[in-house]
Structure 1
Amino acid sequence: MRKIAKLAALVLAAMAAATQAVWDGSKWVMKSLFAPPQPVGVEVGDAMDAVAARAAAPVTPSQPAARDTVTPAPAPAPKSETAPKAAATAKVVELDPVLAKGKAAYAFACALATLGDEPPTEGLNEAEIAWLNSLNTMEMMHIWRGGPMQAGAHMLGIKAIPGLPLCPTLSEYRHILGSAAQVTPRQREEIAEYNATLDQAFEDMISDPGFQLKQGI
């Protein structure tokens, strides 16, 4: 028992002698590894003293923190003025080239039938105008009866109307002009006489009170 007590005393003495180097903020100091525990209130008291010391220290004015620069939102772009509505009398552009061509030819033919003002040529090229002027009365009636759609299809070479001469293209028309220069004066007189006879027959027909022009489908 005595040996055990002596051994325990030696162990405690060795533990008390054991030290370690600790940096206390300004220098290295030797502290015991097995220092007796501090009372519970010591750490709290030290913390309170540190807070009081900071409160008593002079306050150095610090630079104010730069406020975040807020980029203003761009002003909304002014709304563009809406385009004015087209007038009721505005010209309508025909999207279907076949129908547009047929309407132009049909208006030309109707103007000839009424024997009124000069036939309109809007929407017709040089070759088409010459072709319409070359048609006799019987041939012109095919355009009246067929209507704009069939007339346009015939002029563009899509579907020919029986009994109606084909409409030449611009290149074909210019070639025809070159060939026409070789026609003799006598041939031109015969052609003019033939067309005049047909025109007179047509005028007599439409002058009849019982005459009624019907358009085909």
Structure 2
Amino acid sequence: MLRSFCIIVGIIGCALNAHAELYRYVDENGITVLDDRVPSGSVKHGYEVLDNQGRVRQTIPAARSPEQLEADRAAHAAQKQQLEDDTTLLRLYSSVPDLERAKARQLSQIQILIETTHSNISDLQVQREALQGRAAIQERAGRAVDEMILRELAEVDAEIARLERLISAKQMEVEEVKSRFAVSRARLGVLLGS
């Protein structure tokens, strides 16, 4: 009876030993340790699961740092944004020539606005010259220049300056549109495989 019990215990012990797992991890002192369990403090640094012959069965990676998690979130957000941008690009343009036509239309609209603004500046300069002529007549007559003429001259000068700033902004917009369409053209070419 005792002999049977010892044999059963031995068989059970061998069976348990055959399924025993070892863990290899680095402890807080930087020492590599083999053990049948991984302490909770070492889990975050990652570990390896070994079979009974010492071969690596599974590698559990180290926990990601807050910086790595933030970088992962940022990369995921950028990937999501790129997908949305690609979807919009494909919805707007069916081909590269289609995109080029849209670019030409947009640049044409900006150019028309610039030309109209130049024309408005020319009209204001004619108006300014007329006001200056009226002021000169009053000065030659020995009178002080009428306050209304001076106020109108200041308003015309302010409007000319505003329109010149508008032209500068629109010229910068032309460059931005060209740059934006160049990026869109390159991406559309990739998406369409051309």
Scaled to the shorter chain, the TM-score interval is: under 0.3
TM-score (normalizing by structure 2):
0.19
Structure with more helix by fraction: 2
Q: Which structure has the highest strand share of the two?
A: 2
